[in-house]
A and B are shown apart, each in its own frame.
Chain A
Amino acid sequence: MGIATTARVYKDLEPDSAYAFKPEDLEDDEMILNMGPQHPSTHGVLRIELKTDGEIVKDARPHIGYLHRNFEKHAENIDYQGVIPFTDRMDYVASMANSLTYALTVEKLMAIEVGERVKSIRVLVSELQRIASHLLAIGTYGMDIGAFTPFLHCFREREKILDLFEWLCGARLLYNFNWVGGVSHDLPEGWTDKVLQFLSEFEPVIDELDDLLSLNKIFTDRTATVGIIPPDLAVAYALSGPNLRGSGIKWDVRREDPYCGYEKYDFEIPVGQGRYGPIGSCWDRYYVRVEEMRQSVRILHQALDKLPAEGDVHEKVPKRVKPNPGEAYARTETPRGELAYFIVSDGGLIPYRVKGRSPCFVSMSIFHEIARGEMIADIIAIIGSLDIVLGEIDR
């Protein structure tokens, strides 16, 4: 099938503006293939335009915006506290991390220093959230590749964390838990014991996952040679989180720019080793997440030990959130990387400007670089390994 046929069919179907690649630029045997917006492995509503030559992907252009709600515009019309539920809905599988970042930014703007108990609670929930989010990433990644069983194991464990969160604040997915200056609820009686019980049950599951999926030969062969991100490219595209560390760069916001007292915790920063192929492959990024769950378990044990017995979680919650004119940029390490908010205040009750720097948006912008030259089937492995959430890309 030459250029003429492809071009005609495509021109009849869609207006030109829907495509980044123009038919007149196609060479012989090249074809434009649409993946999505409805596709089970795009982890949301994502459309990718692939320029293919047979099975080889010559170039790729992601088209995003299907979930765009423009929370930034909403934020300019609502009070500071009211923005928190909107931030929850950005990365809807790691809501705790999103609202925490927003709360920290407003606290930086207002120079509020929260108490030790609030800090420990925030570390507890964000590490639990990290485990829950990584379990989802790992489980669905296995499923993308064709391994269904690990998905069920991951979701069984994730369910326990969601139960803990439900007990804590009444919601299972979108929590509105981190407030400016505190958290919405103190820990219920007996909650910490249940966390300890969960940790003791969960630790063996990570080893089980290794046997089931991570070190499985079929899985490593499938993922350890595709989607290579060299370290310099990762830095040029400002990747963060497991996507950056998968390329072998030891960089974690919890270490670089500690918040919530992370400087007092003892934990390792796992990086991609290139065990089964080149450094920065899909498998490296995947395994960084597995290792991070082990580290999160360590942090959780320390946070439970450090948790002060006394302390009012609403002590520093301001009656009126009205920062002085100024601007602040604060960031945290969410399960997907460096999430930051840039807030400009004009001294009123409503933020003048809120900008969310979402890690998935940045991770997705590198996609065309790593997709070039891969097979069509590997595109699915690459998208899964970037661990994107479309709610956060589109905002």
Chain B
Amino acid sequence: MSLKAGEIQARLEAKFPGTIVLAQLEAIDPFLVVDQGALLEMGLSLRDDPELAFDTLHCLSAVDYLKEDRIEIVYHLSSLKHRHWIVLKVHLPRVDPKIPTVEKIWPTANWHEREAYDLFGVVFSGHSDPRRIFLPDDWAGHPMRKDWVWPEEWHGIAVKPGKQFAERASEGETLGVGPFD
């Protein structure tokens, strides 16, 4: 039987009291912000509770909020059996973000977590293969960070791009933003 986001929240709240920091059930995709200390147990319970049975981790994304000074790890979960859906979020500090890996619960997280490490510098403690995935091993920094500074070159290859759209717009240049402009 498929459950609504509110019912899933109530079940988790009963099992792990006080670990759901924030619940946004009115959002386009309802999400729960959980305390990272409870993440692993909550993940196991989400997967193994026969009423919940969240067996698929669709996507694991990281989002860097520079102004709010935090990084969010977003888990999109669904259940093949019950056809329901929930989004979990964990807030991390921007400096030294560290979170336990969920690859033991959903093996598919392995590569997603390597990607989040590569591009955002989030460290997943306990990860079985904590290497970069896209960028070269000797690349410095994590380019998806909002405050990332482009290097001039990498092994003699120029990598710095020209002025970006956002920069040009902030300098007052009029730019077409719709198909009919």
Contact = CB atoms under 8 A, between A and B. Distances in A.
Interface of A: 17-18, 20, 64-65, 68, 70, 72-73, 76-79, 81-82, 108-109, 179, 184, 235-238, 249, 251, 256, 317-321, 326-329, 331, 338, 340, 342, 344, 349-350, 352-353, 355, 357, 361-362, 364-365, 394-395
A65 B144 contact: no
B144 A236 contact: no
A249 B80 contact: yes
B108 interface: yes
B129 A236 contact: no
B134 A65 contact: yes
Interface stretch (B8-16, B38-46, B164-172): B164-172
22 contacts: A20-B129, A65-B132, A68-B134, A70-B134, A73-B144, A78-B164, A79-B175, A235-B56, A236-B106, A236-B108, A237-B107, A238-B106, A319-B178, A320-B177, A327-B27, A329-B76, A329-B87, A331-B58, A342-B59, A353-B61, A355-B63, A362-B108
A8 B164 CA distance: 47
A89 B117 CA distance: 24
A326 B165 contact: no
B167 to A, nearest CB: 8
A108 B83 contact: no
Contacts of B132: 65
B143 interface: yes
Secondary structure type dominating chain B contacts: loop
B177 A81 contact: yes
Contacts of A236: 55, 106-108
Contact of A361 (B56, B111, B138): B111
B149 interface: no
Contact of B177 (A331, A349, A361): A349
B61 A342 contact: yes
B138 A17 contact: yes
A50 to B, nearest CB: 16
B36 interface: no
B162 to A, nearest CB: 11
Contact of B80 (A76, A235, A329): A235
B57 interface: yes
A317 B179 CA distance: 8
B61 A78 contact: no
Nearest to B105: A236
A349 to B, nearest CB: 5
- Looking at A20, A327, A344, A352, the one whose CB has the most chain B CB atoms below 10 A away is A327
A16 B28 CA distance: 46
Contacts of A395: 134
Contacts of A338: 58
A78 B29 CA distance: 24
B143 A64 contact: no
A327 B107 CA distance: 26
B138 A319 contact: no
Given A72-B144, A350-B169, A353-B63, 6 more contacts: A64-B133, A73-B144, A77-B167, A235-B55, A236-B106, A238-B57
A39 to B, nearest CB: 20
Given A81-B177, A235-B80, A317-B179, A18 B107 contact: no
A201 to B, nearest CB: 35
Given A236-B107, A365-B110, A82 B63 contact: no
B171 to A, nearest CB: 14
Contact of B28 (A184, A326, A355): A326
A342 B177 contact: no
Contacts of B111: 361-362, 364-365
B106 A78 contact: no
